[in-house]
Amino acid sequence: MARKVILFIAQTLDGYIAEADGKIDFLIDNDFTSGETMDHEYDKLTKRIDTVVMGRRTYDQVVNELSPNNYPYDDFENYVLTTRPSEDLDNIHFIDNDVVKLVKDLKEKASKKDIWIIGGSSIIAPLVNSDLIDIYQIGVIPIVLGNGISLFSHKVDFKELNLDSVKKINGIAYLTYNK
């Protein structure tokens, strides 16, 4: 059985994953995460994956802004797509490769666990267009930015998906689609 490719990401109500300058401050310390229910969606995801794929800007944001003292994906094989590859850091591989080829190769690697696509939009579009994302789990947060970086850029071709589930946890609506 081939590994599944999962896009697990948060977006604003108007479809943005970041502000126009790439910042995601609106995701941090907002009321939509607090409430009576514990949100275990991230924990469920991390139990089923062993590989993460992200772009260089996303990686830089994680290590410089979101979690500068504790890399949160140490337990996984990491592939960071970049035009300026550097030496690997343990399980973090910096590669200048086509994301479609990378993900096809990863899907064929023997593993009982799946692959998480973290972001950003420049690596998501080719994967959508190549029909390589099996599960889209989108956390819709109750913020309207009005402008920013879209989850699905204008480079994404028409794609029809099947709604698998809708779940409300505090202020977040989790929409899960399958291809």
Residue 137 lies inside a defined structural domain of this protein: yes
Find tokens 């910096």 and name the residue.
94
55 in a domain, yes or no? yes
| Backbone φ, ψ for residue 60 (5° rounding) | -60, -40
DSSP 3-state assignment of 121?
helix
Cα separation of 24 and 117, whole Å?
A: 17
Confidence of residue 35 (pLDDT cuts 50, 70, 90): low
| 127 SS3 class | helix
DSSP assignment string, 21-65: TS--GGGSS-GGG-SSS---HHHHHHHHEEEEEEEHHHHHHIIII
Q: Is the pLDDT of residue 29 over 70?
A: no
CATH code of the domain covering residue 90: 3.40.430.10
What is the pLDDT averaged over residues 104-125?
93
What's the predicted TM-score (pTM) here?
Answer: 0.93
Instruction: Determine the residue type at 35.
Output: G
Inform me whether the pLDDT recorded for 43 exceeds 90.
Answer: yes
Q: Is 10 inside any structural domain?
A: no
**Residue 13 resides in a domain:** no
The tokens for 87 are 């030496």
Measured in whole angstroms, the distance separating CA 178 from the mean position of its chain's CA atoms is 15
In a domain? residue 133: yes
What torsion do the CA atoms of 41, 59, 15, 97 make, to the nearest 10 degrees?
-110
In a domain, 4, yes or no: no
Look at residue 33 in the predicted model and tell me its pLDDT. 63
Note whether 16 and 142 are within 8 A (CB). Answer: no
Does residue 11 belong to any structural domain of this protein? no
Domain count, the chain: 1
Question: For residue 123, what are the domain limits?
Answer: 19-152+164-178
Does residue 28 lie within any of the structural domains?
A: yes
pLDDT of residue 22: 87
**pLDDT digit string, tens, across residues 60-85:** 989 988 888 999 999 999 999 999 88
